[in-house]
Amino acid sequence: MPSLVGGGSGLARPGAVSLAHRGVLFLDEAPEFSKGALEALRQPLEHGRVQLARSRGGTEYPALTQLVLAANPCPCAKPAGDAYCECSPLARRRYLGRLSGPLLDRIDVQVQLPAVRAAELMAGEGDRESSAAVARRVATARDAAAERWAGLGHRLNGQVPGPDLRRPPWRLPGSDTAELRARLDSGSLSARGFDRVIRLAWTIADLDGRSRPVRDDVLEAIQLRTGDAT
């Protein structure tokens, strides 16, 4: 836990989550981390900083990071449904269960990656969009967001507080958020998740060059959050 969120004996040292401040923290094989260490990520994910308690007074480090977790579908690391996987359904559930609900509630996008086939591995780069092209698209989207939120003092969709998103002129029409509100009312989505889906919908719209999210952007954001998208 000290190496991830900070701490250690004596003067509390910053952990990986602070060393990755304003960058990306990538945790491969996330379920292999201790439950305590993973749960300790919740505070920095929520507040963008880490507070480390000490008997002689606390220390605080910044921790605004883009957190990326990777996980295999089961302990043996074979793809889901793979004929060679001998893990029991219980073992698989227990493995992914180490990523708790409260932690996943702070994760905006879940994507299932199918196993790579030999043909894909050998295929050329020709028909894929280049990283440079994607970077340009992302930069354009970030510029649009920065311009929109400048009056509120924010630069990124992820920084806009929920109340600002939910009041005019930024509130999305009720017809566009019907599915979202139904999920909140049924309890399948938390209030935190509600705001996070709205922020994601704004990002999807920015990436597509729309000035505001439409209903399909909200639905896509819900799919990305729940991991239903394929």
Question: Where on the chain is the footprint of Zn ion (CB under 5 A)?
Answer: 74, 76, 78, 85, 87
CB of 94 to Zn ion, least distance (A): 12
The least CB distance from residue 111 to Zn ion, in Å, is 20
Pairing state of beta strands 24-27 and 66-69? parallel
Task: Give the total residue count for the chain.
Answer: 230
Provide the 3-class DSSP secondary structure of residue 74.
Answer: coil
Residue nearer to Zn ion on the CB measure, 53 or 83: 83
Q: What would the DSSP string read from start to end of 159-191?
A: GS-HHHHTSTTTPPPTTTSHHHHHHHHHTSS-H
> Residue 25 or residue 74: which is nearer to Zn ion going by CB?
74
- What does residue 15 show for φ and ψ, rounded to 5 degrees? -100, -175
Helices 131-149 and 191-207 sit at what angle, rounded to 10 degrees? 120
Nearer to Zn ion (CB atom), residue 28 or residue 60:
28
Cβ at position 84, least distance to Zn ion in Å:
8
- Provide, rounded to whole angstroms, the least separation between the CB of residue 71 and Zn ion: 12
Q: Sign of torsion, CA 93 94 100 101? A: positive
- Beta carbon nearer to Zn ion, 60 or 86: 86
Residue among 79 and 158 whose Cβ is closer to Zn ion: 79
Shortest Å distance, C-beta 114 to Zn ion: 16
Name the minimum Å distance from CB 98 to Zn ion: 15
Q: Residue 13 forms beta bridges with which residues?
A: 7
CA angle, 33 then 102 then 20, to 5°: 55
CB 206 within 8 A of CB 144: yes
Distance CA 20, CA 16 (A): 6
58 or 97: CB nearest Zn ion = 97
